[in-house]
């Protein structure tokens, strides 16, 4: 698994954008098929769709995320730096497709927040755990009723998608209970890395 930093650009209104792209591709394909289109041309038409940000909004929970020292270390870091709750419940579920920007979705019960997580390389030194975390999507603050309400924002998601991810994490995810006191003892309390 790799650690990547999520670049800006994948729109949260992806479902609508995907439908428009598919429609455009279908129309173009039919025009080209009328001119004896070969499979190479069709592939060239599909490349923008496949190479785009399709992974970002086609995420779904597939089961529990494998237990690893890295996820525990990163949850301790997150709790130490971003929690004020004495006890924190995290439900970590594998996300598909994995291996890109997101390997797991993490539901943080106390804050009603879903976190996007990407596993770090095992040789990443302590203090760099922030690299594992991407968007944090808080219910109501970062959710809207419809994909039209997203209006191109990369930091919003629909209520329905958020609820689906939360339910998947709760039903299929691995539960971690992290005490704030323990997290602060085990992980440094620093939010910004100076040496990156």
Model confidence over 100-151: pLDDT tens digits?
678 999 999 999 999 999 999 888 888 889 999 987 888 888 778 777 887 7
What is the arithmetic mean of pLDDT over 69-97? 94
pLDDT at 102: 85
Of residues 93 and 51, more confidence is placed in 93
CA distance 163 to 181: 30
Q: How far apart are CA 72 and CA 57, in angstroms?
A: 26
Rounded CA separation 48/52 (Å): 6
* 24 CB-near residues (< 8 Å, 6+ apart): none
Distance CA 38, CA 91 (A): 47
Cβ burial of 62 (10 Å; 0-12, 13-18, 19+) is middle
Q: What DSSP string describes 141-180? A: TSEESSHHHHTT-SS-EEHHHHHHHHHHHHHHSEEEEEEH
């Amino acid at each position: 698994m790799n650690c990547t930093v999520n670049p800006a650009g994948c729109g949260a209104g992806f479902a609508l954008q995907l439908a428009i792209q598919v429609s455009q591709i279908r129309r173009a394909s039919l025009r080209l098929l009328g001119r004896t289109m070969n499979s190479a041309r069709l592939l060239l038409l599909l490349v923008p769709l496949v190479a785009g940000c399709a992974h970002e909004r086609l995420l779904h929970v597939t089961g529990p995320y494998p237990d690893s020292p890295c996820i525990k270390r990163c949850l301790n870091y997150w709790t130490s730096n971003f929690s004020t709750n004495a006890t924190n419940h995290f439900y970590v579920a594998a996300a598909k497709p994995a291996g890109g920007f997101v390997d797991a979705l993490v539901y943080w019960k106390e804050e009603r927040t879903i976190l996007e997580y990407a596993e770090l390389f095992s040789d990443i030194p302590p203090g760099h755990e922030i690299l594992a975390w991407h968007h944090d999507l808080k219910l109501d603050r970062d959710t809207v009723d419809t994909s039209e309400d997203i209006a191109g924002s990369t930091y919003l998601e629909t209520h329905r998608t958020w609820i689906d991810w939360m339910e998947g994490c709760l039903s299929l995810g691995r539960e971690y209970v992290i005490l704030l006191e323990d997290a602060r003892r085990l992980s440094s309390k620093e939010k910004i890395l100076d040496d990156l």
